[in-house]
């Protein structure tokens, strides 16, 4: 039987400034997602979990918690941007438009900078501008993020899956 490699993510060598990655998976935000995340993180702003309270605001309904927005948009982009790395920092996070329960999020990321790491020769630093876009194209979150990314020859992702044993 021939082993076929699956998706292994992108490595430092795979990125070029100007590349744009449109995540293929979308994620619809449910009421349960919004309430669960808001209360799990001890956020007491009723605008995220109290429909009656939210009805008195300019939005007329609950807003999706911005922390879950960034978490989901970042997660949707991992397979394209940071599957073989880890975040170093987030910059200039903006929330230009509201997100509501029932909206579907997509992640679009552009490589805005790439450089060798000065202290880690087995890795490099890639900076992305990521936008969370809902189903009608409205941008609901826009941020930049720097990621330390493995070079292909040194990535643990290529070595961690054990071979199955026939004696088991």
Residue 147: pLDDT above 70?
yes
Residue 116: pLDDT above 70?
yes
Q: Which residues contact 22 (CB under 8 A, 6 or more apart)?
A: 106, 107, 108
In 3D, which of 40, 50, 45, 46 has the Cα closest to residue 71? 40
Could you name the CATH architecture of 12-157? Roll (3.10)
Q: What is the pLDDT of residues 55-107, one digit of tens each?
A: 999 999 999 999 999 999 999 999 999 999 999 999 989 999 999 999 999 99
Phi first, then psi: give them for residue 8, nearest 5 degrees.
Answer: -110, 0
In 3D, which of 56, 67, 81, 69 has the Cα closest to residue 139? 69
Model pTM score: 0.89
In 3D, which of 140, 158, 119 has the Cα closest to residue 64? 140
């Amino acid at each position: 039987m021939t082993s076929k490699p699956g998706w292994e993510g992108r490595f430092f060598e795979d990125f070029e400034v100007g590349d744009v990655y449109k995540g293929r998976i979308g994620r619809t935000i449910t009421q349960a997602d919004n309430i669960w995340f808001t209360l799990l993180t001890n956020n007491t702003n009723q605008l995220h979990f109290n429909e009656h309270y939210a009805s008195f605001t300019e939005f007329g309904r609950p807003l999706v918690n911005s922390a879950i927005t960034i978490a989901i948009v970042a997660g949707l982009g991992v397979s394209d941007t940071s599957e073989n790395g880890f975040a170093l920092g987030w910059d200039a996070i903006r929330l230009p438009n509201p997100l509501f329960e029932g909206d579907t999020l997509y992640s679009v990321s552009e490589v805005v900078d790439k450089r060798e790491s000065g202290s880690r020769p087995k890795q490099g630093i890639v900076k992305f501008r990521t936008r969370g876009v809902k189903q009608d194209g409205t941008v609901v979150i826009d941020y930049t993020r720097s990621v330390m990314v493995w070079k292909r020859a040194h990535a643990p992702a290529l070595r961690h899956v054990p071979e199955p044993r026939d004696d088991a």
